[in-house]
Chains A and B, each alone.
Chain A
């Protein structure tokens, strides 16, 4: 701002000078204010500018590849427009063969299931399901269960009996029940290991054994898996017949589930089997049967089942198997290292009274007074008469 200073001795000049000086002071204040305001608005403007610029960069940069691609496509189109169109004679044939929308069956000299179909789109769907869903999510579910159990064990430790062992034992599983249990255990893990090698072997074993080594291993596993598989059906049916009686859900199971099975403290009542055991039992029966039926469809491909049925069976087979393997980790954990006194019920057939009171009090009440006599009451065991003495001896 331009300010003129007057100089002179006259009053008017002095007055003018004073006014000028006062005016100048005012102007200085305004200028300072204006300068401050200008600085602020500059800053705001700059900030806004950078924000808009950043926004533009963020929005436009990812579009660059699309733009380049679009340009390339446009160039291709221009080139294609300049080229004289000569239809590839194989296109129509390929489209007919490929049958993207529907599977149509042609005719063939070979007379067998699906022999008239050259390319089955369902095969690709199955392959993608296997490689993109079954293999990764199956591995993830098994690993998640294992890690959860390890974490739970580290946090909670082994669940010990709340009372000392009484020394009195109650028969929990008969010899036949235990035999059926260990039979299915052996079979389950033989099939699980061979099945997992077939599912994950390419990823895990080829780097270790080489392609030829894995080929031999996979052949062996496939033969064992296919040969032993049908036995699993009989094992599942035996388990169903021997254990179904005590595995129907009751009101006590809801309370048990609501309290988380007492995993995090507190006592929960349960009958001979608690809700967790019952869920495991029904999972085994339902998914075990699903495994068996789908497995039989896969192994005995002599009943006219086509590729789509086989692919569907494989999906059911894989899902059921991985689910059962994952859940079985929890069953094994609780039956062995997770809970004191549980394993002996499946090895000797007997449990301590304290264990029964702590984990299956309703069943214990039903069995009250039986602890003294049950050791000789195993009618299914040929050793019933000597069970008392021998069981005590072997338990020591």
Chain B
């Protein structure tokens, strides 16, 4: 019963909410337009947008020593989560079966395990830092904590289903993934999609004004 619900109606609902929600968020941003810039452009906005996107991948030297842990943990988490999401064998099979219709080469099992461990370590370190650091604690909202905890639960249920010997555990993991999909468009998790246009917008704005990004 629960399995049918998770694999059927709830999956379809989560999928619709996920894509509709993301579309709605992107359209909402685009509809805001941009303020009219009356100044003479000092430089190219496009190069500013590209540079801002690249520049965002490494910390500024003035603050680098202070945020070393966040940078390392951030890369650990995001890169390995990406690898897990799109290259873990069970995920490749699932995506091919339910979404794309075609598959690609998954990573070996040992790499899957190592990637999972690094992802976990990164996520937990980042969340602990968010809670312990007075500044990040102050600027964090409830949604940030919910997002972190939800991602952790999804990953934990994924670990529990690692052996793929139990249908119940696999269904439970899928259920938590569907919950995350529903929550995703309405939370700070949207940064996974919006970080590129967001950086580009700021970079272009600065670029036209001749501000070094």
The answer to whether B97 has its CB under 8 Å from any CB of chain A is no
Residues of B contacting A179 in the complex (Cβ-Cβ under 8 angstroms):
69, 125, 128-129, 132
The answer to whether B67 has its CB under 8 Å from any CB of chain A is yes
| Residues of A214-271 contacting chain B, CB below 8 A | 215-216, 219-224, 227-228, 230-231, 234
Cβ-defined contact, A390 with B161, below 8 A:
no
Cβ-defined contact, B160 with A223, below 8 A:
yes
Cβ-defined contact, A386 with B137, below 8 A:
no
Interface of B: prevailing SS: helix
Residue-wise, chain B 97-119 has the 8 Å CB interface mask toward A (1 for contact) of 00000000000000001001100
Cβ-defined contact, A386 with B120, below 8 A:
no
Residues of A contacting B156 in the complex (Cβ-Cβ under 8 angstroms):
224
- A227-B162, A234-B121, A381-B66 known; A175+B129 contact, CB < 8 A: yes
Selected from A175, A220, A224, A231, the residue in CB contact (under 8 A) with B133 is A175
- A219-B166, A220-B169, A391-B134 known; A183+B160 contact, CB < 8 A: no
Cβ-defined contact, B125 with A382, below 8 A:
no
Cβ-defined contact, A178 with B159, below 8 A:
no
How far apart sit A131 and B137, CA to CA, in the bound complex (Å)? 47
Residue-wise, chain B 130-147 has the 8 Å CB interface mask toward A (1 for contact) of 001111111000000000
Cβ-defined contact, B161 with A223, below 8 A:
yes
Residues of A contacting B70 in the complex (Cβ-Cβ under 8 angstroms):
382
Cβ-defined contact, B124 with A186, below 8 A:
yes
How far apart sit A227 and B113, CA to CA, in the bound complex (Å)? 7
Cβ-defined contact, A183 with B124, below 8 A:
yes
How far apart sit A383 and B67, CA to CA, in the bound complex (Å)? 10
The answer to whether A394 has its CB under 8 Å from any CB of chain B is yes
Smallest CB separation, A185 vs chain B (Å):
9
Selected from B135, B166, B168, the residue in CB contact (under 8 A) with A386 is B135
How far apart sit A227 and B112, CA to CA, in the bound complex (Å)? 10
Cβ-defined contact, B134 with A390, below 8 A:
yes
The answer to whether A373 has its CB under 8 Å from any CB of chain B is no
The answer to whether A347 has its CB under 8 Å from any CB of chain B is yes
A-B contact count (CB 8 A): 84
Cβ-defined contact, A182 with B128, below 8 A:
yes
Cβ-defined contact, B137 with A394, below 8 A:
yes
The answer to whether B40 has its CB under 8 Å from any CB of chain A is no
Interface residues on A, range: 20 to 34
Residue-wise, chain A 11-32 has the 8 Å CB interface mask toward B (1 for contact) of 0000000000000000000000
The answer to whether A387 has its CB under 8 Å from any CB of chain B is yes
Cβ-defined contact, A227 with B159, below 8 A:
yes
Smallest CB separation, A282 vs chain B (Å):
24
How far apart sit A227 and B156, CA to CA, in the bound complex (Å)? 10
Smallest CB separation, B47 vs chain A (Å):
30
- A179-B129, A179-B132 known; A219+B113 contact, CB < 8 A: no
The answer to whether B63 has its CB under 8 Å from any CB of chain A is yes
Cβ-defined contact, A394 with B134, below 8 A:
yes
The answer to whether B163 has its CB under 8 Å from any CB of chain A is yes
Of the listed residues A178, A179, A224, A387, the one surrounded by the most CB atoms of chain B closer than 10 A to its CB is A179
Residues of A contacting B67 in the complex (Cβ-Cβ under 8 angstroms):
382
Residues of A contacting B128 in the complex (Cβ-Cβ under 8 angstroms):
179, 182-183, 186
Residues of A contacting B134 in the complex (Cβ-Cβ under 8 angstroms):
348, 383, 386-387, 390-391, 393-394
- A186-B124, A227-B116 known; A382+B66 contact, CB < 8 A: yes
How far apart sit A183 and B120, CA to CA, in the bound complex (Å)? 11
Cβ-defined contact, B117 with A175, below 8 A:
no
Of the listed residues A219, A220, A349, the one surrounded by the most CB atoms of chain B closer than 10 A to its CB is A220
The answer to whether A301 has its CB under 8 Å from any CB of chain B is no
Residue-wise, chain A 366-396 has the 8 Å CB interface mask toward B (1 for contact) of 0000000000000001111011001101100
Extra inter-chain contacts (14) besides given A175-B133, A186-B128, A216-B169, CB under 8 Å: A179-B128, A183-B124, A183-B128, A220-B161, A223-B161, A228-B120, A230-B117, A231-B120, A234-B121, A383-B135, A384-B66, A387-B134, A394-B134, A394-B137
**26 examples of A-B residue contacts, CB within 8 angstroms:** A175-B132, A179-B69, A183-B128, A186-B124, A187-B124, A216-B168, A219-B165, A219-B166, A219-B169, A220-B169, A223-B160, A223-B161, A224-B159, A224-B160, A227-B159, A228-B159, A231-B121, A348-B134, A349-B132, A381-B66, A382-B66, A383-B135, A383-B136, A387-B134, A390-B134, A394-B138
Residues of B within 8 A of A (CB): 63, 66-67, 69-70, 113, 116-117, 120-121, 124-125, 128-129, 132-138, 156, 159-163, 165-166, 168-169
| Closest 4 pairs (CB-CB, A-B) | A382-B66, A220-B160, A390-B134, A383-B135
